[in-house]
A and B are shown apart, each in its own frame.
Chain A
Amino acid sequence: MRFNPTDANAPRAPWWLTTLAIGGIFFLHFPIIMVALYAFNTEESAFSFPLQGFTFRWFIAASERSDLLEAVWLSIKIALIATVSALVLGTMAAAALYRRNFFGKEAITLVLILPIALPGIVTGIALLSAFRLADIETGFWTIAIGHATFCVVVIYNNVVARLRRSAYSLIEASMDLGADGWQTFRYVLLPQLATSLLAGAVLAFALSFDEIIVTTFTAGQQQTLPIWLLNQLGRPRDVPVTNVVALGIMLLTTLPILLAWRLTQGTEDTAGASK
C-alpha cells in the first residue's frame, strides 16, 4: 500500500508549510504572469511598473513583422521535422529495448539520454564542429538534425513506459489468433500506443519549438523564433513586439504540456517528467 493522500484522516499541513508551498508555486508562475501582462502594456520602451495602460495594438504590430512571421514558420517546420524523425527513431528504440536484455543495452539507453543529460552547449558545439569538419553548411537541416537528436528520448520515454505497462500477452494473443507481425502492429500495438505517441509528439514539438542553446550553434544564418527573441533583447525600440512574442511562445510551449498531461492521465506514464 502506498501513501494515500485522499485518506480522510490524512494529517493537515501546518500553516507554515502551506504558506511555503503556495508561495513557491506563486514564485514559479510570477514571471509567466508578468509576461502575459506586459504584452498588453501601452508603454513603448521600458518596463516600468505599474503598467501604463491596456492595448491590443502590439499584437497587430507583431503580426505585420515579416521577419517575425518567417521565424515562426521556420520554428514550426523544424519542430515538425524533428518530431516526426524522433517519433520514428524513438519508437523503434523503445520497441527494441523495452523487453529484451542483452549486452550493451544499458549503454544504448545512456546514449539516447545523453543529448538532454549533457549541457546543451556540449551538444551544440559538438554538432557545429562536426558539421564544419564534414563541410556541411549550417542552416535549416542542421537545426532539424540537432533537434531530432534530443527529441528522441522524449518519445522513447513515453513509449517505453506504455509498452512496459501493457501486457505482452496481448501481442501473443494477436499472433495466436492469426495476425502476423504487421497486423499485430496495426490492430493491437498502435492503438495501445496511440496516446503515448501523441503525448510524446506534443512534448517533442514543444521542446524543439523552444530550443535555443543547441540551435544557436547549428542555425547558421537562420533565425528560429527563440533566436529571434534573443536578438530582440538588444533592441529597446522593439520592446512591445518582443513582449507579445514572448507571450505567444509561452502559450505555444505550455498548452502542449497540458494536452500531453491529459493524454497520459490515469496511466502511470509521466509526461514531461523528464524534459
Chain B
Amino acid sequence: MHIAVEFQQVSRHFGGVRAVDEVSVQIMDGEFFSMLGPSGSGKTTCLRLIAGFEQASAGAIFIHGVSAQGLPPYRRDVNTVFQDYALFPHMNILDNVAYGLKVKGIGQAERYRQAEAALDMVALGGFGARKPGQMSGGQRQRVALARALVNQPRVLLLDEPLGALDLKLREQMQSELKALQKQLGITFIYVTHDQGEALSMSDRVAVFNQGKIEQIDTPKMLYSQPKTVFVADFVGTANVIRGALAEQITGAAQAFAVRPEQIRLGASTSEPQINGQVADIHYLGASSRLALQVSSGERVWVTLANDSAVIPAIGSALTVHWPKHSMVLLNETAS
C-alpha cells in the first residue's frame, strides 16, 4: 500500500505557541483517516499544513512521496472542504464547482459538463443556477464537496465539514461521506472534535492533544485499548483510576481505565471490585448511569441497562466488579 501523506517530525509554531509539536504520521492511500481532538489540539493546523495554508516550522511533509516544502496550495494535488464551506458568494453554484477547472484553463463547455456531473454525484443536479445564499446548510455542504471532488484530488481534506449541521442531517451525511469515499477510493483526511463521528466513519483515527498525537489506531482499538489517560477520557466515557486506589486494585501505581458498561453489580471473588455509595443516577432512556462514590474520593460511573437489573437507590451501599480483561493500563501522556 502506498503512503498518501507522511509527516516527519513536523512542528508548527505561532510565536511561542507550539500548535503542532513534532508530529510524525503516515496516512495510507485510500484510507479514511480522522484527526480527532479538542479545539486547539493541533488537528486543524495539521490539515492546513497538508493543504498548504500553513508552512511547517520544522520537519518534512510528503504528499504521495513528493516533498511539500515550498509548494503553494495551488500546486498540491489535494483539495479541501472547509468548515464554513467557503463558497464564493458572487458566483452561482455551477461556477463555484467549475472554478478549479476554470483556473486550470479548461474550456467552458467541458468544465460545465464536469461540474454538472459532480453536482449529480452529490444529488444536486439542476441546482447550478442558484447562488450559495439560496441554499440550505446541508446543500452548501454538498456543493463544497462537489467543488473539491471535481478536481479529482488524490487526497481530500475535510475540516469539520458537518459541524454546522443539525444532528439528523449530520448522521445522514456521515454515511454518505463514508460511501462516497469507498466509491471513489481516494484518501479522506477528516478533522473533527466529535469522537462519535470519528469512530463511526474512519479506518484509523489519530487522537490529538496539545499539538501531539496521543495514539493512532483503528476505532475499535482506540476504544478498547486506549494507551493514555487522555485517549481513554476523550474517546467514549471511561473511569480513569489513578494513585492509591489503582495501586490497591492492580498492585501497581499505574493508572488504568474501565468502561462504565463493563462494570457489573455485586461482589466477586475472582475479579477486581470496589465498594461505595450510590451518589447519583442519570436516567438515559435505554440505560441508566450511576455514580458510585468511593471512600477514597473517586467517582466511578456504571452503566446499567434499564431492562435488566433493579436500579439501586441513591444513598445505598454498593459493591461492583468488572472483568480483569476489560481493564486497560494507561500512560499519563503519549511517550
Contact = CB atoms under 8 A, between A and B. Distances in A.
Interface of A: 167, 169-170, 172-180, 183, 187-188, 191-192
Contacts of B89: 170, 192
Interface string B77-113: 0111011101111100000000110111000000000
Given A172-B53, A172-B86, A188-B88, A178 B80 contact: no
A174 B72 CA distance: 12
B84 A175 contact: no
Contact of A175 (B74, B90, B151): B74
Given A167-B84, A187-B103, A188-B88, A180 B72 contact: yes
A169 B44 CA distance: 13
Contact of A176 (B73, B83, B90, B104): B73
Interface size class of B (residues with CB under 8 A): 20 to 34
B147 interface: yes
B180 to A, nearest CB: 19
Given A183-B103, A187-B99, A187-B103, A176 B88 contact: no
A170 B83 CA distance: 11
30 contacts: A169-B82, A169-B84, A169-B86, A170-B88, A170-B89, A172-B53, A172-B80, A173-B82, A173-B87, A173-B88, A174-B88, A175-B52, A175-B72, A175-B74, A176-B52, A176-B53, A176-B73, A176-B79, A176-B80, A177-B100, A177-B103, A177-B148, A177-B151, A178-B100, A178-B103, A178-B104, A179-B74, A180-B103, A183-B103, A191-B90
The winner among A167, A175, A179, A188 for most chain B CB atoms within 10 A is A175
Contacts of A172: 51, 53, 73, 80, 82, 86
A178 B75 CA distance: 7
Contacts of A192: 89-90
A268 to B, nearest CB: 15
A177 B51 CA distance: 10
Given A179-B103, A187-B99, A167 B74 contact: no
A172 B73 CA distance: 8
A72 to B, nearest CB: 37
A260 B236 CA distance: 55
Interface of B: 51-53, 72-74, 78-80, 82-84, 86-90, 99-100, 102-104, 147-148, 151
Given A172-B53, A173-B86, A178-B74, 20 more contacts: A167-B84, A169-B82, A170-B88, A172-B73, A172-B80, A172-B82, A172-B86, A173-B80, A175-B52, A175-B53, A175-B73, A176-B52, A176-B53, A176-B74, A176-B78, A176-B79, A177-B151, A179-B74, A183-B103, A187-B99
A227 to B, nearest CB: 42
A226 B88 CA distance: 44
A180 B72 CA distance: 8
Nearest to A168: B86
Contacts of A178: 74, 100, 103-104, 151
A167 B89 CA distance: 10
Contacts of B83: 169
A170 B86 contact: yes
A180 to B, nearest CB: 5
B75 to A, nearest CB: 8
A193 B244 CA distance: 64
Contacts of B87: 173
A260 to B, nearest CB: 20
A103 to B, nearest CB: 13
The 8 A-B residue pairs with the shortest CB-CB distance, nearest first, are A177-B100, A173-B86, A169-B86, A179-B103, A175-B73, A191-B90, A176-B80, A178-B74
A75 B84 CA distance: 47
